[in-house]
A and B are shown apart, each in its own frame.
Chain A
C-alpha cells in the first residue's frame, strides 16, 4: 500500500507548508518593520500597538501551521520513509480492519487490524490508506514494524 508516490506527495506537502510558514513569518516581520518605519515620532503608541497586533497574530498563525499541519506532514513523511525502508514480514491468519482509530507516538492516525482468531488488535493501518483496504476478511498481511503494507483477501469469505 505504501509506495514512492505516497512519499513524494507527503514530502511535497511538507515543503509547501514549510514554505507557507516561512513566507507568513517573513511577511509578518516586513509588515511590522514597515509600521515602525512609517511611525511618527510624536505619536508612536498607535503604531506600536499595530506592530504588536500584527506580530502576535502573524506569529500565532505560523505557530498553528508549524505545530499542526506541518508537524503532521513531517510525521507522515517519517512514517512512510520508515515503512519503505523497513523489513517486511508476512503473517497468515484471519484479519479484519476495524473502525478503532488510534494515534501513534508522533501523532499519525491509525486504524487497528483485528486478528479474528484471538481477538487481538496488534496491527495497524495508516488512516490515509485505510480506504485502500477492503472490509473483507484478510488471510495474509504483510507488515513493517506492525503496520500493514499489503494484504491478501480471504476468498473463502465471499
Chain B
C-alpha cells in the first residue's frame, strides 16, 4: 500500500518524462533526419503508383549530385497533405489537370512539340503516357491505364530549385530524375 502511494505521489514525474521524451526526440529526429528541400527531389504523380518503394529505389540508383533522396507521392497523399503538390519538383499530371496547374508549371523550351503539352505555342510538359496508343514510360510503376483514359504529362514546378535552366538555376537534379522516369520501362 505504501509502495503504491509512493508511486502515485511520483506519477507527475513519470508523465512529465513521457512528454519530455516525445518532444525531445521529435525535435532531434526533425533536426537530424528530415532532408531539406535542397537535398531532395519530390515527385508528385496524380495517378496510382503500383509500388512506390520499387520506383524510388529505381530512381535513387543514380542520384544527381547534391541529392540524397527522391521522394515520390501519389495522388492519395495529396488528400492528407495539401502541401505535397506545391512542394513537388516534378508533377505527373493527366491532360485535364495540366491546365489547372498551368500557373505553377515551368515552360520546357526544348520539348518535342509532338509529345509536349502545348499552350500558346509553349510546352508545359512532356508526355509520359499516350492513351491512344496505350504506350509510354514507367508503365510498370504507374497505373496510367487504370480508370479514365487520358494522356499523362511530366511537368516541372516553377517554385522548384532543381529545374536548372528552366528557372535559371544551376541545379538540374529534377531534370535528371525526370529523364530517369521517362527512361523507365
Contact = CB atoms under 8 A, between A and B. Distances in A.
Interface stretch (A10-18, A53-61, A92-100, A143-151): A53-61
Given A39-B33, A48-B25, A60 B56 contact: no
Interface of A is mostly: helix
B172 interface: no
B13 A55 contact: no
Contacts, number: 52
Contacts of B10: 63, 67
Interface of B is mostly: helix
Interface string B1-25: 0110010001001100110111011
B82 to A, nearest CB: 20
A51 interface: yes
Interface residues of B, number: 24
A117 B14 CA distance: 49
Interface of B: 2-3, 6, 10, 13-14, 17-18, 20-22, 24-26, 28-29, 32-35, 56, 68-69, 71
A60 B14 contact: yes
Contacts of B29: 36, 39, 44, 47-48, 51
Contacts of A68: 3, 6
Contacts of A60: 14, 17
